[in-house]
């Protein structure tokens, strides 16, 4: 590997030091050593980028974290940590939609195309929530809290 990468590292050192390739070893030994280190850092950064790209490509074709880890010699968890976005998880079939049943009524939570959450509901007393006014909530939990408050407000009074 050294033989394959050293010409590139020499070109980087030459560019960084301003010395021609055949004279760059004539500088102060500390400067030469630092230029070698700097060249290998450039190569390390690029190798990491290319590695992440290769992992993402494998993931896009269906490789899982266990397979990525096996190739890299690490655990599935290590691969997930190293390349967190390499493998896309399919969304559950119920993602973007759920039903809430409370106080004898029901509400449906739906994820809008904007990514926010809306809800519609019918209380136990037959009251429907007002026509959607375009209010979108940041999370499903926030929409569920508003829907739950509506359902509680329209529960049947069983103290008769």
User: Quick one: 158 exposed, middle or buried, by C-beta within 10 A (0-12, 13-18, 19+)?
Assistant: exposed
**Model confidence over 47-59: pLDDT tens digits?**
999 999 999 999 9
Domain residue extents for the chain:
5-82, 97-154
The reported pLDDT for the residue numbered 49 is 93
The reported pLDDT for the residue numbered 63 is 92
Q: What angle do CA 17, 21, 22 make, to 5 degrees?
A: 125
- Rounded to an integer, what distance in angstroms lies between the CA atom of residue 108 and that of residue 140? 11
**Model confidence over 56-89: pLDDT tens digits?**
999 988 899 999 999 999 999 999 999 999 997 6
The reported pLDDT for the residue numbered 67 is 95
**Below-50 pLDDT ranges, the chain:** 93, 159-160
- Rounded to an integer, what distance in angstroms lies between the CA atom of residue 94 and that of residue 91? 8
Torsion of CA 108, 111, 113, 118, to 10 degrees: 60
CATH T-level topology, domain 97-154: Double Stranded RNA Binding Domain (3.30.160)
């Amino acid at each position: 590997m050294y033989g394959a990468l050293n010409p590139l590292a020499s070109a980087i050192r030459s560019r960084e030091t301003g010395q021609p390739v055949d004279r760059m070893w004539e500088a102060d030994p500390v400067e030469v050593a630092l230029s070698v280190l700097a060249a290998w850092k450039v190569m390390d950064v690029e190798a990491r980028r290319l590695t992440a790209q290769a992992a993402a490509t494998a993931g896009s074709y269906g490789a899982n974290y266990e397979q990525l880890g096996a190739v890299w010699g690490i655990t599935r968890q290590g691969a997930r940590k190293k390349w967190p976005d390499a493998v896309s998880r399919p969304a559950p079939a119920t993602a973007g939609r759920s039903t809430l049943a409370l106080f004898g009524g029901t509400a449906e939570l739906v994820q809008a195309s904007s990514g926010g959450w809306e809800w519609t509901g019918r209380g136990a007393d037959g009251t429907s929530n007002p026509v959607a006014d375009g209010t979108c909530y940041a999370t499903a939990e926030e929409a569920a809290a508003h829907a739950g408050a509506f359902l509680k407000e329209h529960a049947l009074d069983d103290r008769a």
